[in-house]
Amino acid sequence: MSERTFRIWRGDAEGGEFQEYKAQVDEGMVVLDVVHRIQAEQANDMAVRWNCKAGKCGSCSMEINGKPKLACMTRMNIYEPDEVITVQPVRTFPVQKDLVCDVSWNYKQNERIEPFKPRPRDADGQHRMLQEDVDRVQEFRKCIECFLCQNVCHVLRDHERQDGFVGPRFMIRLASLEMHPLDTADRIPAVRDEFGSGFCNITRCCTDVCPEHIGITDNGIIPMKERVVDRFYDPIAIMWRKIFGSDSKKSGASNSNDS
């Protein structure tokens, strides 16, 4: 329908540059469609990750005109008719080639998290949980691991503190386990000491870019911070535990605003 100009970053770990392409854009197209058209017609060897093309797999994360987005869900008609579209790989992770980055660090973080540890099933072989008790956990489990939140997190992107902070994606993974009604493990000390909950200063950039609209900061990270505070810094709770002991991960967190 109209010819558009794209500037796409081409290169690898050694370096690279933007290359300009002209491409025909049809009605209803998303940015990924145009990138694919350029790939098929002009740049067969261009690297781009994608799978579902429906915003469900989180593969095609990239930065489009400076904004971190899923290319498959970014419609061309949100841009001005003569606007040049600049596409580059997400900045926080090392480039492998063109629009593809090495996101393996994220997979390593997941392995560090203590896995789900359920209580035994009921006598009839079933688990019982009420819907209202799992709504929040289900919200976190909508995550498609596009890692856009990891990409925009200041702690990871600007301060490069991958050594100290696990990032928003895995803070909500931790929250989904800690709030799981069947789970019996206690990850709160690790949330503070190993996963760096104190690094997050609640700028909510992660929440803003989440394509699944998960309340990463307000519903996930802040409650985790509160549980840490309740556990380690609340004098009443500390006194309570000294007198009555503590064997449940839920102790000291029952008053946090996370349900």
Alpha helix stretches (DSSP H) within 146-259: 148-152, 154-157, 168-178, 188-193, 205-209, 222-232, 235-244
Q: Which of 2, 5, 24, 51 binds other proteins (CB under 8 A)?
A: 51
What letter would DSSP give residue 219? I
What's the rounded Cα separation, in Å, for the pair 165 and 78? 34
Contacts of range 103-109, beta carbons closer than 8 Å, 24 or more positions apart:
103/147, 105/162, 106/145, 106/147, 106/150, 106/167, 106/169, 106/170, 109/166, 109/167, 109/169, 109/170
Q: By CB under 8 A, is residue 111 in contact with other proteins?
A: yes
* Residue at token pair 């990138």: 35
Is residue 232 a contact residue for other proteins (CB under 8 A)? no
Q: Please tell me whether residue 58 binds other proteins under the rule CB under 8 A.
A: yes
- Six-digit token pair at 31? 């940015």
Decide whether 89 or 252 has the Cβ nearer to other proteins. Answer: 89
Q: Output the smallest distance, CB 7 to other proteins, in A.
A: 19
- From the list 164-172, 176-184, 189-197, 219-227, the region that binds other proteins by CB under 8 A is 176-184
Regarding 236 and contact with other proteins (CB under 8 A), the answer is no
Of 84-92, 104-112, 196-204, 251-259, the window that binds other proteins (rule: CB under 8 A) is 104-112
Is there binding between residue 49 and other proteins (CB under 8 A)?
yes
Residue 59: CB minimum distance to other proteins, A: 5
- Contact residues toward other proteins (CB under 8 A) are 12, 26-30, 33, 39-41, 44-59, 73, 75, 96-98, 100, 103, 107, 110-111, 115-116, 118, 121, 125-131, 134, 137-138, 141-145, 177, 180, 182-183
